[in-house]
A and B are shown apart, each in its own frame.
Chain A
Amino acid sequence: MKHAAVYLVAAVLIAAIWALDAWVIPYSDFYITNIVIKIGYNLLAVMGLALVLGFTGQFSLGHAGFMAVGAYAAGALALHTGLPPMLTTAIGGLAAALAGLVVGLPSLRLTGDYLAVVTLGFNGIIIVIIQNTPFLGGAQGLIGLPLATTFATTWTWVVIGGLFIRNVLNSPTGRVLRAVRDNEIATRSLGINTTHAKVVAFVIGAFWAGVAGALIGFLNSSLFPAQFQYDRSIELVAMVVLGGTGSLSGPLIAGAALTALPELLRPIAEYRMVLYSVLLIVMMLVRPTGLLGSRELSDLVPWRRWFGRAV
């Protein structure tokens, strides 16, 4: 029954989310609700990147590209076919996962800086393709999408995504991913196909980025290619690095903080990239492992024996 505890918590969380949505959100400040939803979809993107960058050690600078694939696949499908947006959100995730497979298969043979360059290039290519595809709205954007992203839908996805990534991390595959990060040659010497393992991480990370992107479209009722430029990829990398590579809860905390911070500091929001750089430099000097290093929030509190690791 110990194994079931975490699902019980997830079920309670989802119930609480829908209760909040029904009884609290209608009376709360629209602006604040919007920020909370923003935090939600950023967390989905961050947890995918935490898997790829933090746990597998693959430096991807194209995560926003996968968000774009998911966003436009889900948006265009909902707009042109009238399928329910939450169904197309899942399909958007699958489209992004497919893109992850196509990009990952050849490029994950590369390591370090080369992979960063290839993924950055992929991000740029996706943007240019969208800008030049009238079907996707081009540079003017895809408008008139159904408004389907709510507090409840977003955070339900966050709970499911968190559970998914946690279960991947605490599995034989999760161990292999961390082994690849720590020493790829040794991992291969154990008879494990490391390229395959990296592609798996990449595809899962891309899926959740795609879901996050789809939620953005249905939140704003519109999509613009400029929303998925490389600066968003870098923002996500900053969240993972600040939160701690090798931790899931660390990047989630950093992701929430870095989403809320520019909103709270509206007057200087344009300088947020400067802020991130300064934060990263300070962090490297003061705490090079990031907020939580390779620990989890659950390691710091005594609940661990009920919830297991990586809550």
Chain B
Amino acid sequence: MDAPSDSRLLDLQRVGIRFGGLRAVSDLEIKLVPGCLHGLIGPNGAGKTTVFNLITGIYRPTEGDIHFDGTSLVGEAPDRIAKRGIGRTFQNIRLFAGMSVIENVKVAMYRHAAGSLWESVLRMPRYWRDEATIHREATQLLDTFGLLSVADLGAEQLPYGARRRLEIARALATRPKLLLLDEPAAGMNPSEAHDLMNLVRWVRDSFGVSILLIEHHMPVVMGICERITVLDQGASIAEGSPREIQNDPLVIEAYLGADVEARG
């Protein structure tokens, strides 16, 4: 059952992009309901990260339309789209390596500070108030992500799993309505991946944010996502609950190849 269109937070309508002669994505449909934990899966090279780059404005779709919260995102710059309420993480983690853990989060709170640059330069009362608020909020956020004890370390000194968590914390610090997570459990063993997925679900529940998630670990995706879109060769071939997806013949074909007998 499709949700009615006005209740969709994110709505990709027949989106496509060509790079020269190459059709990386075409006829892509994703309908994301507010509050949903939505998975985006597909074989390697299916175009999952390209979809994220289309939503966040790094690429501009050559076909179709992307609606977020009722208005189109097509043609908007990445920072404008982020401002509208879409936070993201990256497949190859992109932290601010030359800055401390807590500064990474504080940068993301830049837009919440009311003061101007002049007030900072002249150290007016508002600067101190803003800094105190930002510090308190950043500390709280790091605490909930178990990163408070390493707050003053350089971001590049963190172990791999902590970097992933910091990147999620940083994205949440912008107070997004929708969070895009690009393979948050990549490079983790099954137990770490399981913990991370619990964290993702907890983030959705306690921050009231909708989540679109790319992931390869099939058991965890099936375990936590409420809806899943399957991508194959740049097109969405199925969308539904985990159970529906697991039994969908097109999905099975995309992952395991076509039945030999059926091909004749």
A residues at B contact (CB < 8 Å): 3, 164, 167-168, 171-176, 178-179, 181-183, 185-194, 200, 246, 294
Contact = CB atoms under 8 A, between A and B. Distances in A.
A172 B122 CA distance: 13
Q: By DSSP majority rule, is chain A's interface helix, strand, loop, or mixed?
A: helix
A192 B110 contact: yes
B136 interface: no
Interface string B102-137: 010011111101010100111100011011001000
B127 A190 contact: no
B79 interface: yes
Contact of A171 (B90, B97, B111, B121): B121
Nearest to A293: B98
A172 to B, nearest CB: 5
Contact of A190 (B108, B121, B131): B108
A167 B123 contact: yes
A98 B122 CA distance: 21
Contacts of B88: 189
A191 B121 contact: no
21 contacts: A167-B123, A168-B120, A171-B117, A172-B106, A172-B113, A172-B120, A172-B131, A174-B120, A175-B103, A175-B106, A175-B107, A178-B96, A178-B98, A182-B98, A183-B95, A183-B96, A183-B97, A186-B90, A188-B78, A190-B107, A294-B98
B214 to A, nearest CB: 15
Interface of B: 56, 58, 77-80, 82-83, 87-88, 90, 94-99, 103, 106-111, 113, 115, 117, 120-123, 127-128, 130-131, 134, 170-171, 173-174
Given A181-B98, A185-B58, A193 B79 contact: yes
A188 B171 CA distance: 11
Contacts of B109: 172
Contacts of A192: 79, 82, 107, 110-111
B132 to A, nearest CB: 12
A246 to B, nearest CB: 6
